[in-house]
Structure 1
Amino acid sequence: MSKSTRCQARVDEYWQGCGFLSPVQNDKRCKAGEVQTAPGPSHQLGQKKENAMTSRSKKMVGYTIEMPCPCGHIYVTVNFKENGGVGEILSKLGKSGGCASAIVNGLARVASYALREGMDVQYLEKAVIGISCHRNPAWDNGEMVTSCLDAIGRAVREAKSLHEEYHVQTHEVGQAANLLASSAA
Structure 2
Amino acid sequence: MASLAQRQIYRAAMQLFAERGLTQISVTDLAQAAGVARGTIYNNLDDLTGLFDLVATHLAAELNGKIIRALQGCDDPILRLANGMRLLIRHAHVEPQLGRFICRFGLSSATLRVIWTGQPLADLRAGLAAGRYGFGESQLPSAVNFISGATLGAMVITLDGAQTWSEAAAETVEWVLIALGVGKAEARALSTGDLPPLPE
State the TM-score, normalizing by the size of structure 1.
0.24
Q: Which has the larger share of strand?
A: 1
Which structure has the larger Rg?
1
Q: Which has the larger share of helix?
A: 2
State the TM-score, normalizing by the size of structure 2.
0.23
User: Which structure would you say has the larger RCO, counting Cα contacts within 8 Å and 6 or more residues apart?
Assistant: 2
